[in-house]
Structure 1
């Protein structure tokens, strides 16, 4: 029986496009207050807080208080699971692309060795 969707792991947490957008913003700009994220994303504050809660639950972001503001920062180490998973596929595709390149180069060499003679055009002498 298939597993019910959950946001309890990093993969599912970042499956939602708005949460990926939050991760990207925090990666590029560093720690940001909720208000800044609300303005930047153009979403209502409760929606941003909900997304941040999901990301915090899986450890992708951490929150601290600075005065009256809650400031979030990226915990990049938690994204290592995703990096490692993608890296395995990148290596697989790298090998596949190397094989395709080798085959193409081999065919090019074979065609250079024995070029197909050109057929004379009709109607010309």
Structure 2
């Protein structure tokens, strides 16, 4: 940020409270997720749940949680990812697309995740090793 002279345009807040996070989502034009190593992609789901447009690194786990509700680019190519950011900002989703993103994200709940883990554990415990 400093090297590129972007200090006036880029804020790196570090840890934020829940209230601050909600405020950031409310004013966000885009959630960019250039994560190279991702366990699940919960931040993508969080943004979609709030109808914030998402641009994510094009990796399987982020495609799984973002589905067709997010857009993707190769985050290992800074020029391509930057161009994709410009494209998304220039062509924001309409209300129907934002509603579809909310609907998509609603599929990912803690209860469903817990049920899925419980099912896997039940199968693993029910089968002899």
TM-score range (shorter-chain normalised) is under 0.3
So what's the TM-score if we normalise by structure 2? 0.25
Q: Name the structure where helix makes up a greater proportion of residues.
A: 1
So what's the TM-score if we normalise by structure 1? 0.26
Q: Which structure's CA Rg is the greater one?
A: 1
